[in-house]
Amino acid sequence: MTTTLDLTATDLRAVNTTLQAAARAQANEDYEIINPRGAHAMACGLDGPLAVTIKGSTGYYCAGMNKEATVTVEGSAGPGVAENMMSGTVTIEGDASQYAGATGHGGLLNIKGNASSRCGISMKGIDIVVHGNIGHMSAFMAQKGNLVVLGDAGDALGDSLYEARLFVRGSVKSLGADCIEKEMRPEHLKILAKLLDEAGADAKPEEFKRYGSARKLYNFNIDHADEY
Amino acid sequence: MDKTPQTEPRQSWTFSNSINSEIRRAADTGIYDIRGGGAKRRVPHFDDLLFLGASMSRYPLEGYREKCETAVTLGTRFAKKPIELKIPITIAGMSFGSLSANAKEALGRGATMAGTSTTTGDGGMTEEERGHSEKLVYQYLPSRYGMNPDDLRRADAIEIVVGQGAKPGGGGMLLGQKITERVAGMRDLPVGIDQRSACRHPDWTGPDDLEIKILELREITNWEKPIYIKVGGARPYYDTALAVKAGADVVVLDGMQGGTAATQDVFIEHVGQPTLACIRPAVLALQDLGMHREVQLVVSGGIRSGADVAKALALGADAVSIGSAALIAIGDNDPKWEAEYQALGSTAGAYDDWHEGRDPAGITTQDPELMKRLDPMAAGRKLRNYLNVMTLECQTIARACGHNHVHNLEPEDLCALTLEAAAMAQVPLSGTNWYPGKPGF
């Protein structure tokens, strides 16, 4: 059974309190939020198994710091969707604004449309699949995890990258400092195949190129000062 | 044979021996000097202010007999659970990674015994720190190293770090020597590589965004925790006003004498404003918004004694925060390690190469053998003693000025020894009733 929460009748605090309590109770329940009207901080801080479907578009920081919950936005998401996510799955049926999945530690962020700039900035273990394109400075200082882009990437992809893996099927406008194209080995094809399958993406791993850190900035060297 | 008279060799002030030495070092190594600590240059400071004390026109309280309260509550604006402290002195954010686990434990023990809070830092929350800190403020930093919702909820308050006094506008680079397995694990980094920290938060781009970010943090933590916003002392009026606008419960204002784990010396010495110069503009911003005392102001950056505490409070702060002084209290730069400091090319009192991880005092290191030198229980007691002394000093001064609570100290209790201090603190030059810029003159 699905419980419906209407944001025209219930305020954000009450909606989040209900969802957070249900998540903590480990009850694996289904909720839907209607009339979201772009509200900020919706379904954030969920800490347990729970399925939430948002019937429309959201504002900033939807599903922020998610743990275990499955959140689906049947619309587009504002800035910072699934920021610092720890686990679980967040799916955006439309587009995502800037810094989607920022600093995320785990789980899957599945964006069916396009993502704007700084997608996956400082990611720390999250997996992000973008079915469309991503904007500039995506994966800036990304540490761990995988960013998969079925479309094109904007300027300065992977600038100052640590150990995150970036897979792009389309074109890359430019690579950021210390980011290089790398060999696609069998283990990478395997990782990619799994992620594409989980995200329901219509693409083959062999169509992608892999990008990663050249590791020249890992320890300060004056000969690389112009890269900083 | 008589020597021909010659002009005596004369050092250039501009190109002094120390400046020349730094030029040679830069030429040899090709890298700017990175160090820890705060500004070492002399800038106008609390020492340039004096208390007037009471005589006829004011009536003093009896020292040590008549009560002078010290308690402070932080976070009364929005939070369901404000922070209640017994003293107006808190421990500033310093990271595990920069500091050893024993040092963090000592800070927690000492602060808890004295009835005040400690603060995490870049790198997340450790069990040692949470376990020994009755009140713990969780720093939310641009790097978000170690950030997770569990620790967010375990904290007593959240401090969003926007700027730091030692390097307003600057990011960080902790060299790889201190990125041990545990530190790397907490920060999701490979062991031994340099930890770069961004200079601004990755997922918001200004005070309007920050307001929404704060909403998210409050929603995640059930609106219980006070939200502090920490800014570096650069443009204190506007930064304070915008922090209030963004929804801060508490503004933490860190002047240029505030320390850092490791950053460029040129940054530490040449960016930002002295703590003394930052307080009055910040207080004015709060007053202009009708928020003075509603949004609390915590001042940090070079606080060393009860006199400094009393002066900051008199200028309008609600509390102060100490970092460097707390480290010294638990044994940083102790002369008993002089031989080892010299072996590192330094001397007790000047050792600041904290990023190298070879601190003989076992405080700014991750070396297990060096860490053992710091007994967290004994060091915690030292910090407790130091905090108690500062509090007693502050109370003594407040009583002498006729106040039964340290928060009743006011600018009228002060005079300035120098024109610079008079202008910056907006208190009269000693012997006059005038300060530069005072309206009506």
Q: Is B189 on the interface with A (CB under 8 A)?
A: yes
**Backbone phi, then psi, for A52, in 5-degree steps?**
-125, 125
Q: How many angstroms away from the CA of B348 is the closest CA of chain A?
A: 28
pLDDT at A222: 66
pLDDT at B300: 98
Q: Are A46 and A24 in contact (CB under 8 A)?
A: no
**Backbone phi, then psi, for A129, in 5-degree steps?**
-120, 125
Interface test with A, best of B219, B222, B225, B356 (most A CBs within 10 A): B219
pLDDT in tens, B208-240: 999 999 999 999 999 999 999 999 999 999 999
pLDDT at B128: 86
Q: Are B404 and B68 in contact (CB under 8 A)?
A: yes
Chain A residue whose CA is closest to B176? A219
* Number of Cα atoms under 13 Å in the Cβ half of residue A219: 8
* Domain spanning B36-425: CATH superfamily: Aldolase class I (3.20.20.70)
Residue ranges and CATH numbers for the domains of chain A are 2-227 (2.160.20.60)
CB contact under 8 A, B190 and A83: no
Chain B residue whose CA is closest to A39? B212
Q: Residue type for B83, please? A: I
Chain A residue whose CA is closest to B141? A103
CB contacts of A59 in chain B (<8 Å) are: 212
Q: For residue A135, how far is the Cα from the chain centroid?
A: 13
pLDDT at B439: 80
Among candidates B148, B189, B194 on the partner chain, residue whose Cβ is nearest the Cβ of A86: B148
Q: Is A61 on the interface with B (CB under 8 A)?
A: yes
Q: How many angstroms away from the CA of B215 is the closest CA of chain A?
A: 7
Residue ranges of E strands in A43-178? 51-55, 70-73, 89-92, 108-111, 124-130, 144-149, 165-168
Burial class (CB in 10 A: 0-12, 13-18, 19+), A132: middle
Token pair 């460097």 is found at B324
Token pair 């004056």 is found at A222
Token pair 């930002």 is found at B272
pLDDT in tens, B71-116: 999 999 999 999 999 999 999 999 998 899 999 999 999 999 999 9
- Compute mean pLDDT per 10 residues along chain A, 228 residues long, and list them: 96 98 94 98 98 98 98 98 98 98 98 98 98 98 97 97 97 97 97 98 97 88 66
Among candidates B152, B196, B222 on the partner chain, residue whose Cβ is nearest the Cβ of A141: B196
Sign of torsion, CA B245 B250 B256 B261?
Answer: negative
Domain boundary assignment for chain B: 36-425
Q: Is B190 on the interface with A (CB under 8 A)?
A: yes
Strand partners, B139: B159
> In angstroms, rounded to a whole number, what is the distance separating the alpha carbons of residues A188 and A119?
21
CB contact under 8 A, B212 and A118: no
Q: Is B175 on the interface with A (CB under 8 A)?
A: yes
Report which DSSP code applies to B96.
B
pLDDT at B119: 98
**Backbone phi, then psi, for A211, in 5-degree steps?**
-125, 145
Chain A residue whose CA is closest to B149? A65
Q: How many angstroms away from the CA of A120 is the closest CA of chain B?
A: 10
pLDDT at A32: 98
Structure tokens at A22: 């249900």
Q: How many angstroms away from the CA of A182 is the closest CA of chain B?
A: 19
What is the H or E stretch that residue B300 is in? strand B296-300
- Complex ipTM more than 0.85, yes or no: yes
Chain A residue whose CA is closest to B31? A222
Residue ranges of E strands in B345-424? 414-416
Q: Is B45 on the interface with A (CB under 8 A)?
A: no
Sign of torsion, CA B375 B381 B384 B388?
Answer: negative
Pick out chain B residues at pLDDT < 50. Answer: none
Among candidates A47, A60, A218 on the partner chain, residue whose Cβ is nearest the Cβ of B193: A218
> In angstroms, rounded to a whole number, what is the distance separating the alpha carbons of residues B95 and B101?
10
CB contact under 8 A, B198 and A61: no
Among candidates B144, B176, B219 on the partner chain, residue whose Cβ is nearest the Cβ of A45: B219
